[in-house]
């Protein structure tokens, strides 16, 4: 096992009660806190040694906070889907549903057009990172550029796509 992964995994075990309290405060549910803590331990197993982590405890708590927030976002998405499913199952105003579909299709068309209009290098960086799932470091290595350049292109792409999504 890699050094960072080993140290962080051991910290998860030793800090478990404190992590459960932190995660529990964020997610608001003891069972969900247990699930997120388990995910944290699994995630710790995959931590690479490069770059070395100098403050493992701070890294662990930041990772725990991020996973808890991601859990909340996932729950919110599932809740929204459930509400929509219930509305569709038990009847809702069809005009509202049709209007939402039109708005969603319009938004999607704007974002797709903006993605196609991205400068070539920015689009390539975005596709490799978002669609192919490569880390920013891997994208930089593949394209022969610095990680800072990849970050710059990703920031630019996200800003342009967000503007397109918002109709600006």
Average pLDDT over the chain reads 87
Proportion of the chain in helix, strand, coil states, percent, rounded to 5: 80, 0, 20
CATH code where residue 137 lies: 1.10.10.10
pTM of the model: 0.50
Q: Which among 18, 76, 77, 13 has a CA at the least distance from the CA of 42?
A: 13
CATH code where residue 28 lies: 1.10.1740
User: 111 and 85 in one domain?
Assistant: no
Q: pLDDT tens digit string along 11-61?
A: 999 999 999 999 999 999 999 999 999 999 999 998 888 888 889 999 999
User: 80 and 7 in one domain?
Assistant: yes
Crossing angle, helix 16-27 and helix 30-44, to 10 degrees?
120
**Whole-number percent of the chain with pLDDT over 90:** 52
Q: How many domains does the chain have?
A: 2
Paired tokens of 15: 């800090």
User: 54 and 119 in one domain?
Assistant: no
Residue 151 pLDDT: 94
User: 116 and 71 in one domain?
Assistant: no
**Whole-number percent of the chain with pLDDT over 70:** 91
Residue ranges making up the domain that contains 35: 1-91
Q: Where does a domain end: 91, 121, 143? A: 91
User: 97 and 80 in one domain?
Assistant: no
User: 110 and 29 in one domain?
Assistant: no
């Amino acid at each position: 096992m890699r050094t960072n992964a080993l140290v962080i995994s051991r910290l998860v075990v030793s800090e478990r009660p404190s992590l459960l309290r932190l995660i529990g405060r964020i997610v608001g549910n003891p069972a969900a806190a247990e699930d997120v803590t388990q995910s944290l331990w699994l995630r710790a197993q995959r931590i690479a040694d490069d770059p070395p982590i100098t403050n493992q405890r701070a890294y662990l708590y930041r990772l725990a906070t991020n996973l808890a927030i991601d859990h909340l976002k996932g729950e919110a998405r599932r809740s929204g889907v459930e509400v929509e499913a219930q509305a569709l199952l038990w009847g809702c105003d069809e005009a509202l549903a049709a209007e939402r579909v039109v708005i969603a299709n319009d938004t999607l068309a704007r974002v797709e057009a903006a993605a196609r209009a991205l400068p070539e290098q920015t689009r390539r960086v975005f596709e490799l990172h978002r669609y192919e799932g490569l880390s920013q470091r891997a994208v930089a290595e593949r394209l022969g550029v610095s990680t800072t350049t990849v970050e710059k292109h990703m920031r630019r792409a996200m800003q342009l796509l967000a503007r397109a999504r918002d109709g600006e």
